[in-house]
Amino acid sequence: MLNSMRNIGIMAHIDAGKTTTTERILYYTGKSHRIGEVDDGEAIMDWMEQEQERGITIQSAATTTYWRDFQINIIDTPGHVDFTAEVERSLRVLDGAVAIFDAVRGVEPQTETVWHQAERYKVPCIGYVNKMDRIGADFFPVLADIQAKLGIQTLALQLPIGKESSFEGVLDLIEMREIRWDPEGEGEQMIVTPIAPEREHTAREWREKLIDTLSVFSDTLTERYLGGGEIPPELIRQELRKAVLNRSVLPMFAGASRRNMGVQPLIDAVVDYLPAPDEVAPALAYHTKKEEELRIPCDPKGMPLGLVFKIQNDREAGSLCYVRMYSGSIKPGSMVFNVGKRKRERANRILRMHSNKSEPMEDLSAGDIGVIIGMKLAQTGDTIGSEGWPVVLDKMLFPEPVISVSIEPRTMSEQQKLRDILAILSKEDPTFTTKENEETGQLIISGMGELHLDVLVTKILKEYNLGAKVGNPQVTYRESVTTTVERTENFSKIIGGKENAASLSLRVEPVSRGSGNKYTCGVKSRDIPEAIFSAVERGITGALSSGIVLGYPCIDVGVTLTDLKYSELTGTEFAFEACASICFDEACRSAQPILLEPIMTVGLISPKEFVGDVISLLVQRGGQVSSMNSKTQIDEVKALAPMSKMFGFMTALRSVSQGRATFTMEFSHFEKKSDR
């Protein structure tokens, strides 16, 4: 059954038509009985109240539908950069993706971001140029833009018939036919006709290009092509599938989803060209006891192994754990082992999700995606499997939160309720963190951007019905060290009449920017219990998150345990954890600590007549332009700018461009805070 399954995602820049296209897919495959519109707030996949009000996707929604006897698991991902974690965790578990491009704007900043995420996970893709009916739409410049910016060979499988308001259908270059859609029946009926004589020459020319490009990757096609024989559509599809699975080409389709045109051939392409779960490279995993890397083949009969890629809280059912199974299967009511946390939990129920609705599953087996209810300890990125096979799948990496606000309840009686809500939200969203300011007692929440925090705060106020006061957004800085320092610390404290003592030495040093914190245990001794080494690591990890001078988390710090003196009589875990924390603090204070600020990558799209004012505005805010790209009607500008200067940028941008320029902003890196 694996070869009749597809796990796909829909990815693109905000407002390119992801959810609109997904709604059509659900309608034409018979999963929904009417087409939900984003603009009306009725999209099935945008089920959250905020998604309907704002008209954007915030949470990735999962659903399953069927087409030509194939099971298609679809994840509709957000397009806004503030919700990049939702895209990241979706791409981590998908086998293929549909990349949607705006026919007017081509490759936009967030398109590049999600494309590189897909590249990192080696996800094969097909491309769809949407909004062919819009003013300024042009299929061919979009193809050139994709090749130039994303560095992949595009391959037109369709050509649009007309464009803008005269867009009426597509030329199918494989079957050599014209396809139109019946507007009376919501595009459900496809009208197929032979190619009109005036388009015959163009169609043959582009089919020749298609076969010529594809023959570079296929010896079979090359032989047929050189032999002068007719190349059947089945052979083209077969060879094209191989090229797509290798990420050698990006097949391109055209349509206008809002007008119900172009969607059915896209669903056919998902089945024809995107991989089944057993056709992608085996998942990489690490055996914790043997300390070796493993490749896990997708086999329902193998040992159970799955990845929790998303947690969603349900008021009645508790934690909904979205799981992609890579090997074996899990049945409802069975015990599962959380490998990283070394805890056993029960999978009480297993559900197949359809947006925010569900249906029970008999089992969740390799290659499939489902929701397990009953696991209370699981977090995003956890591996679940069996106790006898301690194998951990590759963890997901999420960017650092860069913007913070303070939040406090209106009454003291609601303090604990707020803490509980923040704990739930942190578990759901790996890019949302919360901590208490030790000096002021304020709760500080951090996220990926102003919109991200706005959505979360609205959720607290409306969905959880909690009155809270929220401060103004602040930049989340980081601390680091610039020199190497070694320090020895002794700790002794009498608690309950018993002495708790510890002595250890640490070396603290800077590591290359962006490589993260690194802890190394340089002491090896069988006489020292493992629990003592774990306590030292806990003390250092806690101290790293507490900061050095100003209380901001530390980054890019290397810590090595160089010596440790242990006595069975007085050496306790508490003593070594406290000693490690104090030693780290003292060493860092001597290692010339510095403050680092977040630098953002800013992508601007502006009409040509305003681009000078837009760049001037950006430079005033400390921005440095790194590239410019000129298109027919618009200019694209890429720049780096400090986050601290970018608050309120949207309002200023609207005023200098009469509301016509747009921008996206995402975290790039941390660098030493300048005094300017």
Write the single-letter amino acid at 456.
L
How does residue 583 score in pLDDT terms, banded at 50, 70 and 90? very high
Greatest mean pLDDT among 43-52, 268-277, 541-550, 656-665: 268-277
Dist. CA 36–CA 57, nearest whole Å: 14
**In CATH, what class is 403-476?**
alpha beta
Identical fold for domains 482-592 and 596-672, yes or no, is: no
Q: Can you give the pLDDT at residue 397?
A: 67
25-52 residue pLDDT tens: 888 887 665 565 544 444 444 434 543 4
β-partners of residue 627 are 638
The pLDDT, as a whole number, for residue 43 is: 46
CA distances from 608 to 101, 111, 637, 653 (A): 21, 21, 11, 14
More confident residue, 633 or 180: 180
Angle at which helices 263-273 and 18-28 cross, to 10°: 80
Q: How many helices (H) and strands (E) does the chain have?
A: 15, 38
Cα–Cα distance between 134 and 56 in angstroms, integer?
A: 20
**531: β partners:** none
The CATH class for the domain spanning 596-672 reads alpha beta
Poorest-pLDDT segment among 19-33, 202-216, 284-298 = 19-33
The mean pLDDT value for 334-340 works out to 89
Question: What is the share, in percent, of the chain residues with pLDDT greater than 90?
Answer: 40
DSSP 8-state code for residue 24:
H
8 Å CB contact between 539 and 506: no
What's 283-393's CATH class?
A: mainly beta
Tens digit of each residue's pLDDT (9 = 90 or more) over 231-271: 889 999 999 999 999 999 999 999 999 999 999 999 999 99
Output the CA torsion sign for 565, 569, 574, 578: negative
Return the SS3 of 605.
Answer: strand
The whole-number pLDDT of residue 190 equals 92
How are strands ordered across the β-sheet holding 70-76? 61-67, 70-76, 5-11, 96-102, 125-130, 249-254, 153-156
Furthest C-alpha separation in the chain: 98
**Which residues is 35 bridged to in the sheet?**
none
Q: Does pLDDT of 199 surpass 90?
A: yes
Pick the CATH number of 2-279 from 3.40.50.300, 3.30.70.980, 1.10.150.20, 3.40.50.10470: 3.40.50.300
Alpha-carbon distance of 216 to 280, in angstroms, equals 22
Least confident range from 179-193, 236-250, 477-491, 652-666: namely: 652-666
Provide the pLDDT for residue 560: 95
Tell me the H-state helices in 11-54.
Answer: 18-28, 49-54
Q: What is the distance between the alpha carbons of residues 140 and 148, in angstroms, rounded to a whole number? A: 13
Sign of CA dihedral 406, 411, 415, 420: negative
pLDDT value, residue 46: 41
* Topology at the third CATH level for domain 482-592: Ribosomal Protein S5; domain 2 (3.30.230)
- Helix (H) or strand (E) segment spanning residue 294: strand 292-296
pLDDT cut 70: percent of the chain above it: 91
- Calculate the CA dihedral of residues 497, 499, 500, 505 and round it to 10 degrees: 160
Q: What is the DSSP letter of 106?
A: B
pLDDT at 20: 85
Let me know: does 100 contact 18? Beta carbons within 8 Å. yes
- pTM higher than 0.75, yes or no? no
How do the domains of the chain map onto residue ranges?
A: 2-279, 283-393, 403-476, 482-592, 596-672
Residues 341-362 have a mean pLDDT of: 83
Q: What is the pLDDT of residue 50?
A: 47
Q: Compute the average pLDDT of residues 527-543.
A: 92
* Per-residue pLDDT reduced to its tens digit, 136-163: 899 999 999 999 889 899 999 999 999 8
Q: Are 642 and 657 in contact (CB under 8 A)?
A: no
Say whether 159 sits in a helix, a strand or coil: strand
| Coil, helix or strand at residue 252 | strand
**Helical segments of 568-610, H only:** 573-590
Q: Rounded to an integer, what distance in angstroms lies between the CA atom of residue 487 and that of residue 503? A: 11
Token duo for residue 150: 């994303």
